[in-house]
Structure 1
Amino acid sequence: MKKLPHPLRRAALPLTLSCAFAPVFAQTTAAADLPDTVVTATRSAQPLADVLADVTLIDRAQIEVSGAVNIADLLQRQAGLELSRNGGPGTTTSLFMRGAENRFTAVYIDGIRVDTQATGGAPWEAIALGQVERVEIVRGPAAAVYGSDAIAGVVQIFTRKGEGPFMPYVGVGVGSHRTGKLEAGFSGSNGAVDYSLGLERDTSRGFNSRQNSNPDDDGYRQTALSGRLGWQINKAHRLDLTGTHTDMKSQYDGFTAGLNDLSDNRLATLGATWSAQWTANYSTRLSVSESQHRYETSPSSYLSKTTLRNVLLQNEWRQGGHRVTAALERREDKLLNDPIGQGRHQNAIALGYGYGSGPHTVQVNLRHDRDSEFGGQTTGGVAYGYGFAPGWRVTGAVGTAFRVPTLYQRFSDYGNPDLVPEKSRNVELGVHWAQGASRFGVTAYRNRVTNLITFGAAGPCGSVYGCYENTGRAILRGVTLSGAHKLGGVNLRGSLDLQDPRDAATGNLLARRAKRILKLGADTRVADWTLGAEVQASSRRYDNAANTTVLGGYGLVNLYASTTLAREWTLLARIDNLGDKNYQVASGYNTPGRTFYLGLRWTPKF
């Protein structure tokens, strides 16, 4: 029997949401509590106050109270991000940033590019949270810095770095649907050497995600390992080694009722970085990395393997308020997906200039990529910020971006070798205010995408199911409002997205994307307890491009509490979907209803 096309197979996998949703953190902590530098916006360290991009930082404390199994559960609570999932943490997951396709967000783990050369985009379901220390989200096109794929933005995930004396930890958790969690690890530093190692194990019986087609529970089992080793050779030179490995096995409901469908989703990253500070003003960073993603299903046989290799040499010069960067980069992509055995590469040169003095901040980037299949692609970005009053700043930015077709989109049975890169042009304006623990921001954007690759009718390829085509155009526009304020002893935070992601040819809304998304949160201290509440509300969406299948709007309320039981013990409790709301983020797939989670963590201090 001929197997179904990959895009249809992926759309048919199930949906078991995690027993504990991530909290509504969108830069929710006070500015003083956030890391004072970010690196993702320009690939070099910048003070947060100088960053012109729309950036969100998520720290370890926020991750620990989230109860999330993987990164997608955490990110969906951030401004400008939506989640669509055909099942639970182990099933097909898409994350839409500012209404853009899942494949339009570039994702990195410790600077290592993560992607799949099948349908495209990061395999979110295969990224665990056990050793994640910090997440940086940059909204807006960043191809002038990162090359192909960063049409909507960039998400960079940083694993733990050892600091201070040796510190082990052990954590356990239990929740609804027989969910269990066990994690253990250690970190620290000893003179010039720092280290970190962690192991995480998550299991769940799951629930029946499709009662009408396959009445059985769909569970998952995830094992994740990560490690990091750093050596400060001397004052000027440092070497870092990082590695992660995640194996997510999950059940899903396929096309045949009664069949126990299983998926095995594996993601591994490995990277080495040498950093040199030649003078007070001039530094160099050389990194070599590889990521591998393997996706397999049974008993319906399907296997896809993506390998990405990357070499980056970045030079940076700083003088006063000036910062100049120059980078050379090579990326190699390879896909094994029977009968495909294809590869390609891109060589790039990227230049950047930043300036900050008084009320003025400027950032200019230019990059040229030479693709082995599509030739030269040039992208650029210009951003400017002006502080017009104490605490106030207005920003503006324009940028271009592109994404080359995946190897599967070109060479599979459903592929089209004549596909060309998708391209975009973005304009955005923002006004921001910050004073102490309070902040407010509003950003308006318009991103026009051309040569959009869609899965259309049969014709350009030999498949009777349909073919990939460059037939689409999209306009992604919207306004994001976000803020935080401390009122007495209560920390308030929230975001509102008013977006209009549409197919420019038909005028229809893009599938599974809402026009209005509200996220609110509050937390406070009562005696020795931290108590918090979260609200997420989404307007109705359509499950298909024709806008004929409606996904109803929904509102969720989550509660959480944490306390230190003793000097070394921390307790976390969560209730998610308090009102037991029945809703769907993909048509035909159930969500878990009200769920509970209880976790205990031991961190001895020596």
Structure 2
Amino acid sequence: MTAARVEQPLADVLPSVTLITREDIDRSQAVSLADLLQGEAGFEFGRNGGPGTTTSFFLRGADSKNLVIMIDGVRAMADGWGNLSAIDLPLQQVERIELLRGNASGLYGEAAVGGVLNIFTRQLGGKPGGYGSVTLGNRNTQAVTAGYAGQQDDVSWRFDLGRDHTDGFSAMSPQQNAKVNPDNDSVDRTHLSGKVAKRISRDLTLGAYASLTRSDVAYDNGSGTATATDKNLLRRENGLLNVFAQGQLNADWNSRLDLSRTNLDMRDYRNDQAYRTSFDSGLLMGQQNSLRWFNTYAAGKSRVLNFGLDAGNETFSADATSSGYQAGRVLRGYFAGLNQAFGDLSVQANLRHDTVNVNKVDTSYKGSWDNTSGLLGLGYRLNPQWRLTGSVATGFRAPSAGELSNNINLKPETHLSQEVGLTYAEGAELFRVVAFDTRTSDAIYWQSVSPFTPVNIGKVRNQGVELTGKTQLADNNVRYTLVSQDPWNESDNTRLARRARLYGALDIWRQLGQTSAGFKLNASDNRYDSGSPDKLLPGYTTLALYASRPVAPEWTLRFKVENALDRPYQLAYGYNTPPLSVSLTLAWQQR
């Protein structure tokens, strides 16, 4: 685990974290990052339709802009409005995910106040061989993936590509909005990625990682001049190139340098013509150049230091031929951390200083903010199985370029988080209960009445208890989560939008001969879509059934029924979610 930015066994990690492995991903047969994470403690999401449509992640009840996604240690790009662009990441490319809950600005910088998703792409090396899969499902769902990975002498590599399509369903409910086109809203996605590394010497490895994802998502627009015959299409392209050098400077000092370039291109079409939207035009583009230097130094058997810097330059434009919206952000961060063990007592201390500059071309607005964030965590092992943990952390989020262009007077959000936990770990058994309290000052939210601008609303808080665990019961593997929380806007005295007071999941599977079979229950209490009682999202429970069986030494057959009870529910007011879905996958792994 790398939740503390150093390698640690899961049982020794102080922050509240969940590990999702490649085996978990294959067993779940999830079609998107959001569907994979649904039901995990601390994770909620809103989505404007099915997989592929606009999706908002909420970690620990924080706003969707208050989290960070890292891919192989490099910060994923957010668009000019602070929305994450990595939610389309194909799960085929992922080796493992670490879901870090709670304020981590002291480790990862600006906006990491709800938590961090650390995503690690599939490993390199091993005997050269291919892999792939073919999936068929109802609503004309089709997906094909293929890849090749291995190692020859000092060079290791992985290349993969894929394409998927579904006819989908109507993203919005015509019963709730008469302007909605009731036709099916399809999703098409094409993706490819490659990673290569060469070992130059015993102490130095050079490598590169590149990926490109393109999605065509049909959607419903029920606002403004929309009509029941309109066809709307959002085309997204995400490209990433990262080159890195990883080396061992001496027996105790490991260092890694990353240089990356990310491109984001979003084109919005109405009836096959680009049209004006909330982005000010039918085109939104972004580029991010970033540098990361990260070091760990083992100062003895029980002390590990980490230190380094992050630098980034981002530019955004809403129209390639117009200067109507052009903005940029420059980010600089310097950090240091200590993980120290004193017998049964563990200490984690992190300190980070960030500078964020935001400006807009041809206008007078600009913003510049400096902030120092920190985290202090303690752990005490009561015995080999039981451990007490606690932490306090501060953090911040600067206004995005888009937010600041609508309100030049915006101030950064500031956050204070505290948590205390109790963990039991022995063999396959894991139990963790955490009580947390997060408080935000100068929270940035968009007004729901004219003028529709972002404002600093004052204070927001979330208090609650998270329960996570896994066990074996009568040859069954059991994973469970349960969260009780109170996400509250103290300024308006309303519950925070799209966040439930109670939610959780139960996942049980077992081996029946060569067949692995199980089910997963996800459940959530009701939520308000915009903090208003007239837009209530009722509570829901969904059931998924899944099974897999090897049919030959290199072939595995997987079967899944999603929303098996065919229960209608909503994650955003007026937007439908997938009805009963059936899929069959044939996977191949060359040995």
TM-score over 0.5 (shorter chain): yes
TM-superposed deviation, 1:68 = 2.1
State the TM-score, normalizing by the size of structure 2. 0.92
Match in the other structure for 2:287: 307
Aligned to 1:18: none
Counterparts in 2 of 1:340-355, with a 5 A limit?
Answer: 340-355=325-340
Q: Is the 8 A contact 2:523 2:542 kept in 1?
A: yes
Higher relative contact order (CA 8 A, sep 6+): 1
User: Counterparts of 1:212-223 in structure 2 under 5 Å?
Assistant: 212=174, 213-223=180-190
CA distance in 2, matches of 1:472, 1:114: 28
The change in CA–CA distance for 1:121 and 1:358 in structure 2 (over 3 A counts) is farther
Deviation at 1:565, TM superposition (A): 0.4
Q: Describe the SS at the equivalent of 2:332.
A: strand
Structure 1 residue 549, shift from structure 2 partner: 1.5
Calculate percent identity across the aligned residue pairs.
34
Aligned twin of 2:441: 450
Q: Is the 8 A contact 1:283 1:317 kept in 2?
A: yes
Alignment of 1:106-121 (within 5 A): 106-121=68-83
Partner Cα separation in structure 1 for residue 318 and residue 483 of structure 2:
38
Q: Is the 8 A contact 1:481 1:497 kept in 2?
A: yes
Please name the residue that 2:199 is paired with.
232
Please give the alpha-carbon distance, in whole angstroms, between the structure 2 residues aligned to 1:242 and 1:321. 33
Alignment correspondent of 2:362: none
CA change 1:487–1:232 in 2 (3 A) is same
- Listed one character per residue, the Cα deviations across residues 60-100 of structure 1 (whole Å, up to 9, x for unaligned) are 11112222222122112311111210012221101111111
Q: Which string of whole-angstrom CA distances, capped at 9 and with x for unpartnered residues, describes residues 389-416 of structure 1?
A: 22000000000011111111112xxx11
1:316 matches 2:296:
yes
- C-alpha distance in 2 between matches for 1:68 and 1:472: 38
The alignment status of 1:402 with 2:387, answered yes or no, reads: no
Q: Distance in 2 between matches of 1:265 and 1:357?
A: 50
Q: Is it true that 1:169 corresponds to 2:131 in the alignment?
A: yes
Residues 1:366 and 2:351 aligned together: yes
CA contact 1:450–1:472 (8 Å) conserved in 2: yes
Instruction: Answer whether contact 1:161 1:228 (CA < 8 A) is retained.
Output: no
1:397-476 equivalences under 5 Å are 397-411=391-405, 415-456=406-447, 465-476=451-462
Q: For 1:67-466, list aligned pairs within 5 A.
A: 67-212=29-174, 213-255=180-222, 256=226, 257-299=228-270, 300-301=275-276, 302-318=282-298, 319-338=300-319, 339-372=324-357, 373-411=367-405, 415-456=406-447, 465-466=451-452
CA distance in 1 between partners of 2:448 and 2:29 (Å): 42
Q: Superposition RMSD on alpha carbons, in Å?
A: 1.5
| Superimposed CA distance per residue, residues 456-507 of structure 1 (whole angstroms, 9 cap, x where no aligned partner) | 267xxxxx65111112421011110011111231111101000111101122
Quote the Cα distance in structure 1 between the aligned partners of 2:345 and 2:578. 49
Looking at structure 1, the residues matched to 457 and 173 of structure 2 have their Cα atoms a distance apart, in angstroms, of 36
Structure 1: distance between partners of 2:261 and 2:533: 40
The runs of 5 or more residues in structure 1 that have no matched partner are: 1-37, 459-463
Q: Is the 8 A contact 1:425 1:448 kept in 2?
A: yes
Q: In 2, are the aligned partners of 1:89 and 1:125 still within 8 Å (CA)?
A: no
Match for residue 7 of structure 1? none
Distance in 1 (CA, whole Å) between partners of 2:172 and 2:135 is 27
- Out of 489, 495, 509, the position equivalent to 2:475 is 489
**2:190 alignment partner, SS class:** strand
For the 8 Å contact 2:335–2:351, the answer to whether it is kept is yes
**Contact 1:267-1:293 within 8 A present in 2 as well:** yes
SS at the partner of 2:229? Answer: coil
> Is residue 582 of structure 2 the alignment partner of residue 596 of structure 1?
yes
Q: Which amino acid aligns with 1:126?
A: D
CA displacement 1:230-282 (0-9 Å, x = unmatched): 11211111112111111111100113221110000111211112112111112
- Cα distance in 2 between the residues matched to 1:602 and 1:81: 31
* 211 and 48 in structure 1: CA distance in 2 versus 1, 3 angstrom threshold: closer
Query: In structure 2, what is the equivalent of residue 34 of structure 1?
Result: none
Aligned partner letter, 1:587: Y
1-side partners of 2:86 and 2:530: how far apart? 22
> How far apart are the structure 1 equivalents of 2:432 and 2:11?
13
Cα separation, 2, equivalents of 1:124 and 1:516: 27
TM score, norm. by length of structure 1? 0.90
Q: Any stretches of 5+ residues in structure 2 without a counterpart?
A: 175-179, 277-281, 358-366
Give the secondary structure class of the aligned counterpart of 1:46: coil
Q: Deviations over 1:311-358 (max 9, x none)?
A: 122232212211112212212121112422121212222111110243
What number of residue pairs does the alignment pair up?
A: 559
| Matches of 2:244 and 2:7, distance apart in 1 | 15
